[in-house]
Amino acid sequence: FHDQVPVPNVGIADTTETRRTYSGQYLTVPFGITIKSRPIRNFYICGDAGIYNSLLLKSFNKDSYLLGDELWSREKKASTETAILKEAGFIGLGFEYSIRPKTRCGFYVNYVNTFTNYFKNKGLAPNNLTGENQKAKFGYLEFVLNINFF
């Protein structure tokens, strides 16, 4: 988006292209199912799928912009534009190793796709240029290491 940028020791620069980066920390409770093969020398080939239910703990945004040949950025600040709840589905493949009869460790690669908008709805996170609500949904790979005791 375009923004007027306060530059230290210069004043306010004319409108310049600004890039806003968001980051958030969530507490996530997964619900899912894991399917395992028969053991092959204490190894299991596995597949998993399920739902992530996430609650926002902290959210920040940071603006960066190019003035001449220099890249400037503003301090990171708390964001009020981020939705409190995030729902996502996941599916993945991996393997587990049986250390003892009731102890296993594993590694999975999951693909995660969010169902909910990252931003708050109904005008609470408008786009600076168009005034329309911002929308963002994510698809990403995650690497999961686990140890199970049962």
Tell me the CA end-to-end span of the chain in Å, nearest whole number.
52
Residue 63 near residue 19 (C-beta atoms within 8 A): yes
Predicted local confidence at residue 133, as pLDDT:
73
Q: For position 147, what pLDDT does the model report? A: 94
The rounded distance, in Å, linking the Cα atoms of 96 and 102 is 12
Radius of gyration of the chain (CA): 22
Q: Kindly give the confidence (pLDDT) of every residue in the chain, 150 residues in length, as a single tens digit, with 9 standing for 90 and above.
A: 555 556 665 555 556 677 778 888 999 999 999 999 999 999 999 999 999 999 999 999 888 877 667 777 777 788 888 889 999 999 999 999 999 989 999 999 999 999 998 888 765 666 666 667 777 888 999 999 999 898
How do strand 70-73 and strand 11-36 relate by DSSP bridges? unpaired
* DSSP label at residue 126: B
Predicted confidence at residue 40, as pLDDT, reads 94
**Closest by Cα among 108, 100, 90 to 146:** 108
